Amino acid sequence: MTPSASSSPSRSPSPLAHPSDESPLIDIVDLWKTYRMGATEVHALRGTDLQVRDGEYVAIMGPSGSGKSTLMNLIGCLDSPTKGRYVLNGRVVSDLGEDELARIRNQEIGFVFQTFNLLARATALQNVELPLIYAGIAPSERRQRAEEALRQVDLLDRASHRPSELSGGQRQRVAIARALVTRPAILLADEPTGNLDSATSREIMILFEMLHSLGNTILVVTHEHDIAAHARRIVSIRDGRIAADERVENPTLASTTQA
C-alpha cells in the first residue's frame, strides 16, 4: 500500500544500531556532555551510544531538554564531549583541537538550519560557494560545484537571486545546496522545516528523499513526528540517553502523498 500523509509508520528495533559487517560512519561510545552551572553539574548527555552507517536516513527526536540538540552539536563538531569517544568516518574527532574540528565542519559535515543562515546581500550562487571559499577552492571550480549543487536542488535558474527575492522553500533549498557543495560525509539538518508551511515542508522532504536515494547520509533533528516519519530510522532521546532506536518499516514518502 502506498503510504499517505496520515499513515503511521511501522517500526521495529533497528539492527543498524550495532552493525557488525562494516565500520559505521558515525561511532559514538559512552558520550557524556556535562555543563557546570555554579556548584551544580547538568548532564546533557549521559553515556550515549550511537552508530550510523554510510547512506542511512536517521531522525533524532526528543522533547525540549532531552539532549537531542547537544547530541547534534557533538555530531556536527560544534562542541566537544566531556568524556567518551566519537569516531567520524574513521577519525577520532572527540580528541581533536579547534583547527581540525573546523576543517571537519567545513569538509565532512553539511549543515541545514531552521533559519537558513544565508547572507542577505549575496546571491544564491555566492551563498552556495561560501564553504568552498573557506576551503581554498579555486574560483572556476567553486562556481562549477556551486552550480552543480543548485542544479541538484532544482534551483539553478535562481542562482543570481538574493534571499529576499526567494520564497522560504527556495531559501531552504539554497541552504541545502550550500550544505551539499563540499560533498560532505553527513547532511545534518536541524528542524529543517520549522519555518515552512506544510506544502513547502513536503517539498523539502521530497528533496531529502531524493538526496537519500543518491546515497547521502542524512540526520534530521526534529520534534515533529510527521517529519521524523520520513526517515528510515528514528532515534529517540530522553534525559540524555537513547530511549529507543527503531527502524521505520513503512516510512511516509512525501513524493507519493498529496499536498
What's residue 6's pLDDT? 38
Cα of 184 vs its chain's centroid, Å: 11
At residue 13, does pLDDT exceed 80? no
| Pairing assessment for the beta strands 40-52 and 83-88 based on DSSP bridges | unpaired
pTM for the structure as a whole: 0.84
pLDDT band at 251 (very low <50, low <70, confident <90, very high): confident
Query: Tens digit of pLDDT for each residue in 192-250?
Result: 999 899 999 999 999 999 999 999 999 999 988 999 999 999 999 999 999 999 999 88
Instruction: Answer with the residue of higher pLDDT: 15 or 217.
Output: 217
The predicted-structure confidence for 34-93, as pLDDT tens digits, reads as follows: 998 888 999 999 999 999 999 999 999 998 889 999 999 999 999 999 999 999 999 999
Which pLDDT does position 203 carry in this prediction? Answer: 92
**Per-residue pLDDT at 1:** 35
Of the chain, the percentage scoring pLDDT greater than 90 comes to: 78
Across the chain, mean pLDDT equals 89
Residue from 55, 61, 49 nearest 11 by CA = 61
Q: What is the pLDDT of residues 167-195, one digit of tens each?
A: 999 999 999 999 999 999 999 999 999 98
The grid coordinates listed for 188 are 545534518
Q: What is the pLDDT of residue 74?
A: 95
